[in-house]
Structure 1
Amino acid sequence: MAITAGGRPVLLGTAALLVIDVTGGLLAVSSDVNTWGEAWGSSALLAAPLPMMVAQAILAWLAARNARPPVGLVAAGVLALACLVSAISGFFDGGLANDELSGGLVAWQVFLLTATAVVGVLAIVRVRQLWRSR
């Protein structure tokens, strides 16, 4: 089944978020705040962990399709919850106050958290669309 017009925003937003995550990991490595093994792992400072990135991609793809609305509805709901919890926790986990991060890298973290929140909001919009089409 093809991606629906209503599903495109959440899919494109997630794709942009994944680019931001990859770029953040590269910034972390080049700035010596993470190693290659840490940059997309549980101790990543400027990117989401790789398993989260994969989950976000799969959930966004499922949410963007309208072949089986219950599947898309659940996927969009889980994506919204994951992104919003991640964004909120990112402001309180101490990462923004990490002494290893320059002002520019802290700004990158804020950008990443904001992008994550935006994808969460797009996923909520998708939940509403799919809920109404049931």
Structure 2
Amino acid sequence: MDTMTPAARRLTLAMTTLLATDAVGGVLAVTNDVNTWRTAWSGEALLAAPLPMIVAQLLCTVLAVRSGRRWAAVPAYLLALACLVSVISGFFDGGLANDALGGALVAFQVVLLTVTGAVGLAAVLRGRELHRRQVAPAAA
């Protein structure tokens, strides 16, 4: 039985898309000699999030969608904040202006930032849904 709300499904779909985008970005970075396999998902990555950020985003997503309780709004909002920081840093960390990136790779970075922003928006919507949820009275 599917008990996920539309907001939880949207967040799950957005996060799945972001995971795929990060995976493709790392491979693109390696195949275009922008990063090595060792650095493609590190703090030096230009076309993917660093692995610790990916794990944190995934963990927050799982916690936000697996529970219908109000506390699950906390990881949803933390995910939204992490996505906001990622998008802002994408514009100010020098990656978009990096000389190693051609037009197509810069376009991919914009896609990555857009998908990250979509995850953040989906996380806010899920957080609002959870925060507004009334706690059901205990069964007598």
Deviation, structure 1 residue 33: 0.4
Matching of residues 15-30 of structure 1 within 5 Å: 15-30=16-31
| Range that drifts further, 39-48 or 60-69 | 60-69
Aligned twin of 2:119: 119
Give the length in aligned residue pairs. Answer: 132
Matching of residues 29-68 of structure 1 within 5 Å: 29-68=30-69
Deviation, structure 1 residue 68: 3.3
**Aligned partner letter, 1:112:** L
Aligned twin of 2:78: 78
Q: Tell me, in whole angstroms, the C-alpha distance in 2 between the residues paired with 1:4 and 1:61.
A: 12
Please state whether the residue corresponding to 2:42 is helix, strand or coil: coil
Aligned twin of 2:130: 130
Q: Which runs of 5+ in 1 are unaligned?
A: none
Aligned twin of 2:107: 107
Q: Tell me, in whole angstroms, the C-alpha distance in 2 between the residues paired with 1:3 and 1:13.
A: 18
Please state whether the residue corresponding to 1:97 is helix, strand or coil: coil
- The alignment's TM-score, normalised by the length of structure 2, stands at 0.90
Aligned-pair identity (%): 55
Q: Tell me, in whole angstroms, the C-alpha distance in 2 between the residues paired with 1:96 and 1:17.
A: 18
Q: Tell me, in whole angstroms, the C-alpha distance in 1 between the residues paired with 2:34 and 2:54.
A: 20
Q: Tell me, in whole angstroms, the C-alpha distance in 1 between the residues paired with 2:93 and 2:117.
A: 16
- Alpha-carbon contact 2:26-2:41 (below 8 Å) kept: yes
- Greater Rg, structure 1 or structure 2? 2
Q: Which runs of 5+ in 2 are unaligned?
A: 135-140
Deviation, structure 1 residue 66: 2.4
Deviation, structure 1 residue 92: 1.4
Deviation, structure 1 residue 93: 1.2
Please state whether the residue corresponding to 2:35 is helix, strand or coil: coil
Deviations 1:44-85 (A, max 9, x none): 000000111111111111111224321x11110100000011
Cα root mean square deviation, aligned: 1.2
